[in-house]
Amino acid sequence: MDAMKTDLKQIKLVIFDLDGTLVDTEKIYQAGWRTVLKDYNTSISQDQLEKMRGGTRQHNNRLIQEILGGDETLAKEAREKRNAYFQAVIKQGKIDLKAGAVDLLDHLKAAGLSLAVATSSPLDRGKDILEISGLMPYFDFVIYGNQIEHGKPQPDIYLKVLEHFQVRSQEAVVIEDSLNGLLASSRAKLATFYVPEIPLRDGEFDQVDEQYVIGVYNSLIEIKDVFDK
């Protein structure tokens, strides 16, 4: 795909997704679901796990409920077990930052840009991740998935960030790792650096307005290089 031409000199705000973009938590989520669902004598496929990436808690709960035969009570119980698994892991300080995260954040801060996080994670979990990882002090504003009515892939969470900073969409860029996140940012008319954790699939961009995709990158290190130019 052709990269979007974006004048980074006019940018005032950089908005980050959290899970899978700044921190390597997706592997913890996925291991948690695999472990928990064994208790119910069932399993979850990698494809199903990828559909959950960047999704709201409501969206992902529906998928787990389907796996468990439509039983809402079991799905709620499984969610609680998975949450306990995740909390046990991160409380041990086992949150790995994505390669280049700190260097990029330092660089953007030094350039005087405002920084925000727009995450699908609810406040309790997202705040823990930011604090335990040591990233919280970098950000001027954080909005969590349970603070909006319609989560990703709808644009609401990104529109709220623009409203908070009182900036136009042309004055901000987003960094995202999931298709749900990319759909949300592009629907908010925000230029986006896409850093997928998994190889792009055929037809992945069929739903995306590509005019808002700056490009596809392998890491945050590459994105810092773009800002350096």
For residue range 49-84, list pLDDT tens digits in order: 988 887 777 889 999 999 999 999 999 999 999 999
- Whether the Cβ atoms of residue 194 and residue 216 lie closer than 8 Å to each other: yes
Beta strands in 39-171 (DSSP E): 114-118, 141-143
Q: What is the pLDDT of residues 154-166, one digit of tens each?
A: 999 999 999 999 9
3-state secondary structure of 39: coil
Q: What's residue 155's pLDDT?
A: 98
Q: What's residue 5's pLDDT?
A: 67
Q: What is the CATH number of domain 26-90?
A: 1.10.150
Gyration radius (Cα) of the chain, Å: 17
Q: What's residue 201's pLDDT?
A: 74
Q: What is the CATH number of domain 8-24+96-228?
A: 3.40.50.1000
> CA-CA distance, 34 to 116, in Å (whole number)?
31
Give the number of residues written for the chain. Answer: 229
Q: Which residues pair with 14 in a beta bridge?
A: 115, 173
Task: List the one residue out of 17, 23, 19 whose CA is nearest residue 93.
Answer: 23
Domain ranges within the chain, ordered by starting residue: 8-24+96-228, 26-90
Q: What is the pLDDT of residues 12-57, one digit of tens each?
A: 999 999 999 999 998 999 999 999 999 999 999 998 998 888 777 7
Task: List the one residue out of 44, 51, 119 whose CA is nearest residue 82.
Answer: 44
Give the percent of the chain with pLDDT over 70.
97
